[in-house]
Amino acid sequence: MTMNHPPSAVSDPPAPRPMRDAVAALNERAAPKGIDHRSAACPADGDGSLIVFAGGGTGGHLYPALAVAAALRQLQPGVRLAFYATDRPIDRQILAEYRETLVPQPVRPFPTRPWRWPGFVSAWRASTRSCRRGFAAQRPAAVIGTGGFASGPAVATAARLGIATALLNPDLVPGRANRWLAGRVDCVFAQWPESVAYFPEHTRVEATGCPTRPAFAAASRAAGLARFGLDEHRRTLLVTGASLGAHSINQAMMRLAPELAAIAGWQVLHLTGPADEPAMRQAYRDAGVSAVVAAYTEHMADAMAAADLVVARAGASTLAELTAIGRPAILAPYPHHRDQHQFMQARLLVERGAARVCLDQADVMQTAALLRESLIELMTQEATRRLMQQRAAEAGAPHAADAVARGILALVAARQRAVER
């Protein structure tokens, strides 16, 4: 679906107020009545075109791009790929797992404190010089921004050089980097049709859904249970804070562990992030909860496939993965984004009947109380879970990666035709 911005652009709407009333209303309506270690440079010349993905800093800025990379290799086996990402450990870890080429960039997020602006400008210029050198040595056929501050230098440089450019925009409300770059690129591939209203007028937006990795299409409950050594005769609650963990969710679950132990027939798979792993494991052990606790897994498709219910943030990639695999969820949107985009994204799944929302409060006891209410409801009502599972699957976009890959190749072909004229 291709859309242009409506004649009258709208500004970012504030999060609904009061938030607690909005959540209650939504939940009521939803209730049923790698690094390539051979080289830090781009892949050597081969038979195929070079396509660069630019962005990173979190798994949410990399996993959709990895899904598109897999689809590109299916459509054009000779294609060469490189990731101009950050030098953060999470980027190195994820790209190394997928044996992708990482070209690390020194770019940094835009700071709010003015005395840090010179450092930001210096890092931006260094990244721009790095991109110019890399693109001069091996000119890409396309540069695709994957979101976040790290996409800026590469995409802007490519646009100035006349290289085909596009953005992946999984979030409902585009971030500052994507809003700034949108007027410079050939196309924006968005997860949600509603995102069109947040882009500058005349931006070309294609609502493709959010690409998910092939593992999500192939995953099964049996394989997921086996992967993590879980009991096939129990229901499974997956708790995850995405690639970096979520401390506030972990703290709430520590307080709820004794109550989870009282709900028969369940087990927990909890991905905590590195900081809380030991304490979370001990909390479940002390409460007598059957639990598998890990800081992180690269096998998220298996984790979700094993789950009967998921507690998670409401990041764009997480929502795409939940709907790709069809799992009901309790979503605790990250509370500190100024635009509250995770809450707004969670609302979309609640309105589709696929999720509940639990507000992450400053007081962890309040968060635990809100989470307890939804957990008890959904862990004890199988019919409700099954209906939510069906609605989640209906909201998915299983062919998004292929659609985006085909769109990128079409942009490359159009740019080549323009050059040949």
Tell me what pLDDT residue 337 has. Answer: 77
Cis peptide before 16 (omega within 30 of 0): no
Of 114, 319, 315, residue with least CA distance to 212: 319
Place of tokens 């190394």: 96
Structure tokens belonging to residue 95: 């790209």
For the segment 267-285, the average pLDDT, to the nearest whole number, is 96
Beta bridge partners of 235: 266
Assess contact for 173 and 10: CB atoms under 8 A: no
Cα(411)–Cα(208) distance, rounded to whole angstroms? 15
Average pLDDT for residues 43-49, to the nearest whole number?
61
205 vs 39, residue with greater confidence = 205
Reported as a pLDDT band with limits 50, 70 and 90, residue 277 is very high
Q: Please say if the pLDDT value at position 10 is more than 50.
A: no
pTM for the complete prediction?
0.81
| pLDDT, the chain, mean | 89
Instruction: Please count the CA atoms within 13 angstroms of the CA of 385 that sit on its side-chain side.
Output: 19
How far apart are the C-alpha atoms of 410 and 274, rounded to whole Å? 41
Q: What is the DSSP string of 126-186?
A: HHHHHHHHHHHHS--SEEEE-SSGGGHHHHHHHHHTT-EEEEEE-SSS--HHHHHHHTTSS
Structural fold of domain 215-394: Rossmann fold (3.40.50)
Q: Same CATH topology for 2-7+34-211+398-420 and 215-394?
A: yes
Radius of gyration of the chain (CA): 22
Of 253, 252, 378, residue with least CA distance to 327: 378
Where is pLDDT greater, at 15 or 177? 177
Instruction: Please name the amino acid found at residue 75.
Output: L
Please state, in angstroms and as integers, the Cα–Cα distance from residue 383 to each residue in 234, 311, 346, following that order. Answer: 16, 18, 22
Q: What is the pLDDT of residue 152?
A: 95
pLDDT-derived band at 419 (thresholds 50, 70, 90) equals confident
pLDDT tier at 41 (50, 70, 90 boundaries)?
low
The tokens of 9 are what? 């652009």
C-alpha to C-alpha distance for 250 and 246, rounded to whole angstroms: 6
Q: Which of 7-21, 51-65, 283-297 has the lowest mean pLDDT?
A: 7-21
The terminus-to-terminus CA distance of the chain in angstroms comes to: 28
Q: Band of the pLDDT at 11, cuts 50, 70, 90?
A: very low
For 161, other C-beta atoms within 10 Å of its C-beta total 15
Structure confidence at residue 177 (pLDDT): 92
Residues in CB range of 124: below 8 A, 6 or more apart: 107, 108, 152, 153
**pLDDT (tens digit, 9 = 90+) per residue, 63-115?**
999 999 999 999 999 999 999 999 999 999 999 999 999 999 998 888 888 89
Task: Give 283-321 pLDDT, tens digit per residue.
Answer: 999 999 999 999 999 899 999 999 999 999 999 999 999
Residue 48: pLDDT band with limits 50, 70, 90: confident
Q: What is the structure's pLDDT at 361?
A: 87
pLDDT on residue 109: 83
Question: For 237-248, how does the pLDDT look when each residue is reduced to its tens digit (9 = 90+)?
Answer: 999 987 778 999
Residue 376 pLDDT greater than 60, yes or no:
yes
| H helical segments located in 31-88 | 63-75
Burial 3-36 (b: 16+ CB within 10 A, else e): bebeeeeeeeeebbeebeebbeebbeebeeebbb
Q: Is 202's pLDDT higher than 80?
A: yes
Query: Is residue 37 pLDDT above 50, yes or no?
Result: no
**pLDDT at residue 12 is higher than 70:** no
Pick the CATH number of 2-7+34-211+398-420 from 3.40.50.2300, 3.40.1030.10, 3.40.50.2000, 3.30.70.141: 3.40.50.2000
Task: Report whether pLDDT(212) > 60.
Answer: yes
Segment 148-159, tens digit of pLDDT: 889 999 999 999
Res 339 pLDDT > 90: no
Q: What is the pLDDT of residue 287?
A: 97
Instruction: Check if the beta carbon of residue 13 is closer than 8 Å to that of residue 74.
Output: no
How is the chain split into domains, by residue range?
2-7+34-211+398-420, 215-394
